[in-house]
Amino acid sequence: MAASVEKQAYAVGDATSTCPYVPRNTRFIRTILLLSSAAILSTLLPASWTSTDLLNTKDSPSASLAQPGEQWKDEIWPLREQTPWDISTDFPFPRLLEYDVTEGTWLRLDVNPKSGEIIFDMLGDIYCLPAGAYSHSALHSESHSRAIPVLTGVPHDSDPHFSPDGTKFVFRSDAGLGVENIWVKPWTSCEEADVRPSYADGELGNALLVKDHEEDLLASGIRETEQRKRNRLLREGRHDTSRVTNETYRWVTDARFHPSGTKVVATKWFTSARSLGAGEGWEYPLPGESASTTSIKAGSGKLLVGRTLPLGWTVEKYGDQQVGPEQFIWQGNDSVIYSKNTGDTNGVWEYSKDVHKGTYSIFSTNLTTQRTTLLVDAFPGGATRPELSRDGRTLAFVRRVRDKEALVLKDLHTGTIRNIWHGLSYDLSVVSAPFGTYPSFAFTPEDDAVIVWAAGQIYHVPLSKNTNRELVTGGEPKIIPFKAHIEKRLAETRLPKTDIKSVETSDFQRVYAFYELRADEAGEKVVFQGAGATYVQEVGEDAGPAREVPKLHSSAPYFSPSFVPGTSDLVIHARWSDVNFTTFELANLTSGIAYELTGLPVGRYYVPNLCSCSGANRQIAFLKTGGDYLTGDVVATAGAGLYIGELTLPSSSSSKSAAIKNVRFVPSEIETGDVVHTQLKFLEKNKKLLVQSPQRAFAIDLAVGPNETGDYKHETLATGRMSTELAIPPPTSGSLKSGTPVAVVDFLHVYYAPSVKPDDAVWSKPANATKGLTRLSLDGGHSLAWSGDGSKLFWFLGPYLHYVDISKLDARAKAQQHDAVTFQEVFVEYQSDIGRLKKEASAFAAQRYGEEGAANAEFFVIANATLLTMESGNVQSDLLHDAVIVTRAGEIEAIVGVHDFVAPYGATVLDAEGGFIVPGFIDVHAHWNGYDTNFPVKSWEMETFLAYGVTTLHNPSADTVLAYAERFRMERGQMVGPRIYHTGDIIYGAGIPGLHQDIVDMAEARSALLRIKVEGGPSSYSYKNYNLPSRASRQRLLLASRELGMLCVPEGGMNYDWDQTYIADGMTTVEHSIPIPVLYEDMLTFYALSGSGATPTHIVNYGGAMGEQYIWATEDIPNSKLRRFTRHDILESLSESTARPLDSYQVFNTSISTAKMVRKGLKAHIGAHGEPPIGVNYHAEMFFTKAGGLTNYEVIRAATSDAAYTLGIDSSVGSLTPGKLADFVVYPPGVDLLEGDISGTRDIRFVVRGGRVWDALTMVEVWPVAGRREPTPPLNAE
């Protein structure tokens, strides 16, 4: 059958179109690990939650205690409820895409229990096939039955299921607000439900006559009249639908009718800190005839079967459980059958599980007795998507059997299990699949067949009964041929253009992201870090530009500044060295003199602060941290924590140094993991130390000293419930248990409360907010700082310094007082990399050629090259032999033939010896960790990326402030690496304070994007919505992005249905693969022609084992070129892996689907997700992209010009074109990029970024400063 052929193709990795990934040390170790059913029963039976109940079997009633879900209150998320929005009318869809298909992807279906009609969803619409479509004659005919559209339009509809009497069906839809809810629609027949009949009269006929005109009106922004709305609902088939559920944040799927027909059970999905959902079984009554949206209370419904808790968990942690029951069906009047992931036992959902062991089991729970029975064990192969026969005797489900997927029947009377058919597509039980681990299917009215989707088709699987009255196979399954007309409204795809070249080629660039803000005593000056340098800024309307704090080493990075109390012109800050680590310096702002503070051993030190003691003798407090990601865990890692020392302030006539003496460790409760958001300040001269961390401010009593156990007294002064920053003005004396003023950054905004008690955790959730709390920020803020006298509060948002005089705040506790806030723009710039390149090239030419060569010093020429320009998208046009590429001042000046070129005197010429040159690679989806390192260290991550030819990075999830600061440090010359672009912090739908955003209106959407845009300036051009549950929220962001010229790269992969709406709504890409690896004509055409791009990230592929595991198993990772650049402990961690059969790697199917769409016009990209080993995995991602059938040229196009086009930076990078930035990769002779093994892309000779040239093997600079490679931190113990 077709499904078997399909699996056979990818079971061997499609050997006809791929080749092995040049494994250097293949280690396939085949091991079978048995998982006993008893172990599952002892920990995972979905019975009651107490430990005694975990041992219940099918014959043991559960305890009478309520389920933990009934005791848990879902009252934190969302923070705010959505404002009115209609996804169909409040967002424009000017494009219409129409085409016909005879196959479909992941078609969830049901069969009418009376008429036998088939109803199914495809691409967000619902269709019907008459029962005659699977009559004997139809099954043996070559003709296709017309798939009759029943529900269509902008809303995404799915999961249709009939009532027991066949007179109605329920379905899932995001109509209205864009959150998936359950709706119900009356049913008579396919013919009556047809919304696109060949002939229509009456209201539907009139509505269809004006269809094009009215849709054009709506797309142009003209609001609907009531009549136009009525017409639209008629055309969509939505005029007689009624809402069953009213969820505005959680979402609901897969509703099934109770035998009475009066209510349904459905899966309600709950997110935790992670955005993948955990299911629960909820019951909902069907609405009456006059029910409306407003008559159904938001969030109403009745919990039937909730999540169970791992041993030791309390009800308070219930919301953290990431695994729950799903796929509910009724068994009689008072029992439900469902499937549940029993592979993840500790409350945490894990990727890349073993499909052959099995992940899901099937259970039955009697709702009256609360008895739970294991019906089908997960081992072997799993058991998911349960469906019951009409007589209730036979349970059907799907499971993996070796390299096949089987339809399985279990007779519930005899217990007999039979694999009926092995022709199904692979299930998705190893991934998070809220859209269903397999499409729903159904028995025919007489139980003489199962109707099920597989391999792009709907199949009729005949059944018969044996002598024991058990259902068994009844013959060969047949395709039910259909033909459907797809009609989809599409928004304009977000493809804005950004001119990065004008920024990169400027001699000077501007810093936009500032942090580590501190104010002086009166709030007249502030100091802060800006891209690895410290600055002072006077406050006020007439203030001049920021100026750099005086320092001893002009090229060293500086950080963590603060004012010396009692003085107006002394600043203490820290200098970083990759060899010597931290050194403190004291700077006099008036004289410009800087002093080095000696006496500390090598260490990572932060937040130095001096006491306000009188005279020159002071105490100093600072924090020491242990090892970290970029500086390693090898040198100076002991003794993290708080230290106190003594220091005599140097006079202007003294030497340029002063010693810190009598340094001692002070045991404290300070967490040193987030010192960037921690502040220290002495109180009462030097008697106490105020510590301000993200969620707690406390004072350490230094004067009293330690107790008998060596601990110091800590007094909590203020707390935040979910704050990411917290700051209080310096208390004057004594305890503040009566209350203290508090400022917090809570959910990205700055808030202030005039008096808060220590045990009253500050929180900004409406209706639950701290008493007197007022919002000060308009669009957000960060880096809180109080003036020393407590009169002013400061914060940053991008280059805008905000401050407020607390005494001038309205005494009335208004919810918002941002009109009382003053702001001023801070202007800081540095010399760009190209600006430095020009100077260094001139110095190089002067030394080698003298003054005569100065005019041509900026020329760098590579001759005798084979160029693959990637300009046209056609290999014949883009391939140039015997070519010369000429660069000048960081740009490509010209491309000429070798016989037509004479190098100008003073130019530097390199012989490529016939080797290929291609544009620098662009990693569209690259994560990394270094920007979170507390210290301005050189990044081995960035150097590694560049060593493997990646000249441009785009990170779709990074700290908005710190990652832009890293970009500016890169361009400033404090590290070597690619160009950095990113989305800032994700706009997150799940429950992480600091990331969660509801986007309930357009004002919040604009603020969300402004917070990103303002920190990166012209280098900020993208954002990422990450599993926002409301389509309304996502559409608001898209509208705001049009105003700000930003593109959208959403988190895809998890939810097939949401991915489709991302494409329809015009998002720039879908990041990660569509979770269904094998796509069919409906989805292939829709995605390819939509205009949205694809970044499949095969390395972390959905649908099966991750691609990175294949690389770990087939590469000798620890002994590669990476050892020169990367932490060895990371490489060692990849030394061993367990080999898995190729059919476990659905990555190859994803690659095939991607290749098919590329041939239809899709722009695919290379994104390696930043998975270790970085660099190598970028080229592994190219290998996986090639595996689906693309040519080497098409893969390189995905890595260069197509990526640049989608990111909107193709006017500057992506091809070898005169006038673009000189970013390219040079290969040695003998590497055939077009016809050779695709893994040859990693064998790089030189990498060029902005005209600067490095030896890719060593990352020693070749030009303009030959032989330069700055030292890196001691990462390794060798």
Domain shared by 176 and 142, yes or no:
yes
What pLDDT, on the 0 to 100 scale, is given for residue 811?
Answer: 61
Of 11 and 801, the structure prediction assigns the larger pLDDT to 801
In-domain check, residue 818: yes
pLDDT in tens, 688-709: 999 999 999 999 999 999 999 9
Q: How many domains does the chain have?
A: 2
Evaluate whether 641 touches 670 at the Cβ level (below 8 Å): yes
From the list 1248, 1265, 500, 499, the residue with the least C-alpha distance to 890 is 1248
Amino acid at 612: S
CA distance 671 to 99: 59
What pLDDT, on the 0 to 100 scale, is given for residue 1138?
Answer: 80
DSSP 588-602: ETTT--EEEEE-PPS
Residue 546: how many other CB atoms lie within 10 Å: 24
What pLDDT, on the 0 to 100 scale, is given for residue 24?
Answer: 34
Is pLDDT of 183 > 80? yes
> How far, CA to CA in Å, does 861 sit from each of 163, 382, 865, 1221, 1233?
74, 61, 10, 14, 22
What pLDDT, on the 0 to 100 scale, is given for residue 659?
Answer: 96
Is pLDDT of 65 > 80? no
Domain shared by 517 and 442, yes or no:
no
What pLDDT, on the 0 to 100 scale, is given for residue 7?
Answer: 30
Amino acid at 927: H
Domain shared by 621 and 741, yes or no:
yes
Is pLDDT of 1199 > 90? yes
Span 902-926, mean pLDDT?
A: 96
Tokens 């009497």 — which residue? 165
Evaluate whether 1267 touches 1261 at the Cβ level (below 8 Å): yes
In-domain check, residue 757: yes
Q: What is the CATH number of the domain that holds 304?
A: 2.120.10.30
Three-state SS at 1223: coil
In-domain check, residue 159: yes
In-domain check, residue 384: yes
Domain shared by 662 and 617, yes or no:
yes
pLDDT in tens, 1058-1084: 999 999 999 999 999 999 999 999 999
What pLDDT, on the 0 to 100 scale, is given for residue 733?
Answer: 61
Strand pairing category for 534-538 and 950-955: unpaired
What pLDDT, on the 0 to 100 scale, is given for residue 1?
Answer: 40
Span 87-91, mean pLDDT?
A: 98
Evaluate whether 576 touches 937 at the Cβ level (below 8 Å): yes
Q: Which of 830, 847, 865 is the last residue of a domain?
A: 830
Is pLDDT of 49 > 80? no
Q: Which of 807, 830, 853 is the last residue of a domain?
A: 830
Domain shared by 577 and 449, yes or no:
no
What pLDDT, on the 0 to 100 scale, is given for residue 148?
Answer: 98
From the list 385, 379, 386, 416, the residue with the least C-alpha distance to 401 is 379
> How far, CA to CA in Å, does 1177 sit from each of 232, 735, 1122?
49, 56, 11
Is pLDDT of 905 > 50? yes
What pLDDT, on the 0 to 100 scale, is given for residue 499?
Answer: 97
Span 650-678, mean pLDDT?
A: 91
Is pLDDT of 48 > 80? no
Q: What pairs with residue 266 in β-bridges? A: 282
What pLDDT, on the 0 to 100 scale, is given for residue 737?
Answer: 58
Is pLDDT of 15 > 60? no
For 826, the domain range is 508-830
Residue 955: how many other CB atoms lie within 10 Å: 25
Q: Which of 830, 855, 886 is the last residue of a domain?
A: 830
Largest CA distance in the chain: 108
DSSP 497-543: ----HHHHTSSEEEE---EEEEE-SSSSEEEEESSS-EEEEE-STT-
Domain shared by 652 and 698, yes or no:
yes
Is pLDDT of 21 > 80? no
Domain shared by 476 and 536, yes or no:
no
From the list 648, 674, 678, 632, the residue with the least C-alpha distance to 586 is 648
Residue 962: how many other CB atoms lie within 10 Å: 18
Tokens 């009729």 — which residue? 460
Is pLDDT of 14 > 50? no
What pLDDT, on the 0 to 100 scale, is given for residue 33?
Answer: 28
From the list 1175, 606, 1264, the residue with the least C-alpha distance to 946 is 1175
Is pLDDT of 30 > 50? no
Burial of 257 (0-12, 13-18, 19+ CB in 10 A): buried
Contact partners, residue 18, CB within 8 Å, separation at least 6: 1148, 1186, 1187, 1188
Strand pairing category for 1224-1226 and 1093-1095: unpaired
Given CA atoms 794, 795, 797, 800 in this order, what sign does their dihedral have? positive
State the average pLDDT for the chain.
Answer: 92
> How far, CA to CA in Å, does 1171 sit from each of 1025, 1177, 1198?
21, 7, 19
Span 541-558, mean pLDDT?
A: 95
Is pLDDT of 31 > 60? no
Is pLDDT of 60 > 80? no
Evaluate whether 250 touches 1028 at the Cβ level (below 8 Å): no
Q: Which two tokens stand for residue 408?
A: 């399985």
Domain shared by 551 and 604, yes or no:
yes
In-domain check, residue 864: no
CA distance 542 to 169: 69
In-domain check, residue 656: yes
Domain shared by 306 and 450, yes or no:
yes
What pLDDT, on the 0 to 100 scale, is given for residue 269?
Answer: 98
Q: Degrees (nearest 5) of the Cα angle 958, 963, 968?
A: 155
Given CA atoms 882, 887, 893, 899 in this order, what sign does their dihedral have? negative
What pLDDT, on the 0 to 100 scale, is given for residue 292?
Answer: 55
pLDDT more than 70, % of the chain: 93
**Confidence at 276, pLDDT banded by 50, 70, 90:** very high
> How far, CA to CA in Å, does 952 sit from each of 387, 531, 924, 1210, 1222?
50, 19, 8, 12, 12
The DSSP H or E segment spanning 1195 is helix 1192-1199
In-domain check, residue 762: yes
Per DSSP, 433 falls in state: -
Q: Report, in angstroms and rounded to the nearest whole number, the Rg of the chain calculated over CA atoms.
A: 33
Evaluate whether 685 touches 641 at the Cβ level (below 8 Å): no
pLDDT in tens, 723-758: 999 999 998 765 455 789 999 999 999 999 999 999
Evaluate whether 682 touches 627 at the Cβ level (below 8 Å): no
Evaluate whether 1205 touches 954 at the Cβ level (below 8 Å): no
CA distance 639 to 623: 10
Domain shared by 528 and 450, yes or no:
no
What pLDDT, on the 0 to 100 scale, is given for residue 1142?
Answer: 87
Given CA atoms 1141, 1187, 1084, 1067 in this order, what sign does their dihedral have? positive
What pLDDT, on the 0 to 100 scale, is given for residue 291?
Answer: 52
Domain shared by 561 and 460, yes or no:
no
From the list 776, 771, 792, 767, the residue with the least C-alpha distance to 744 is 776
CA distance 676 to 1060: 40
Amino acid at 1265: V
What pLDDT, on the 0 to 100 scale, is given for residue 1135?
Answer: 87
Span 58-68, mean pLDDT?
A: 52
Evaluate whether 338 touches 323 at the Cβ level (below 8 Å): no
DSSP 249-308: SSEEEEEEE-TTSSEEEEEEEE--SSSS-EEEEEEEEPP-TT--GGGSPTT--EEEE---
Span 163-172, mean pLDDT?
A: 98
Span 155-161, mean pLDDT?
A: 98
Evaluate whether 146 touches 138 at the Cβ level (below 8 Å): no
* Range of 856-870, 895-909, 1121-1135 with top mean pLDDT: 856-870
**Confidence at 35, pLDDT banded by 50, 70, 90:** very low
Is pLDDT of 818 > 90? no
From the list 1211, 1153, 1229, the residue with the least C-alpha distance to 1184 is 1153
Q: Which two tokens stand for residue 468?
A: 């024991």
Strand pairing category for 822-825 and 800-805: antiparallel
Evaluate whether 897 touches 883 at the Cβ level (below 8 Å): yes
Which spans in 1048-1175 are helix H? Answer: 1056-1064, 1081-1090, 1107-1114, 1128-1132, 1147-1160
Is pLDDT of 52 > 60? no
Q: Picking from 284-288, 435-439, 1237-1241, which range would have the lowest pLDDT averaged per residue?
A: 284-288
pLDDT in tens, 139-153: 999 899 999 999 999
What pLDDT, on the 0 to 100 scale, is given for residue 294?
Answer: 59
In-domain check, residue 1184: no
Evaluate whether 443 touches 449 at the Cβ level (below 8 Å): yes
From the list 406, 387, 427, 355, the residue with the least C-alpha distance to 1 is 406
**Confidence at 32, pLDDT banded by 50, 70, 90:** very low
From the list 385, 389, 375, 362, the residue with the least C-alpha distance to 464 is 389
Per DSSP, which regions of 959-1076 are E strands? 979-982, 987-988, 1022-1023, 1025-1026, 1047-1048, 1069-1071
Domain shared by 419 and 340, yes or no:
yes
Which spans in 141-225 are helix H? Answer: 190-193, 202-209, 211-219
CA distance 455 to 1079: 9
pTM: 0.94
Span 76-102, mean pLDDT?
A: 97
Tokens 């350490």 — which residue? 700
What pLDDT, on the 0 to 100 scale, is given for residue 568?
Answer: 80
Q: Degrees (nearest 5) of the Cα angle 1177, 1179, 1182?
A: 115
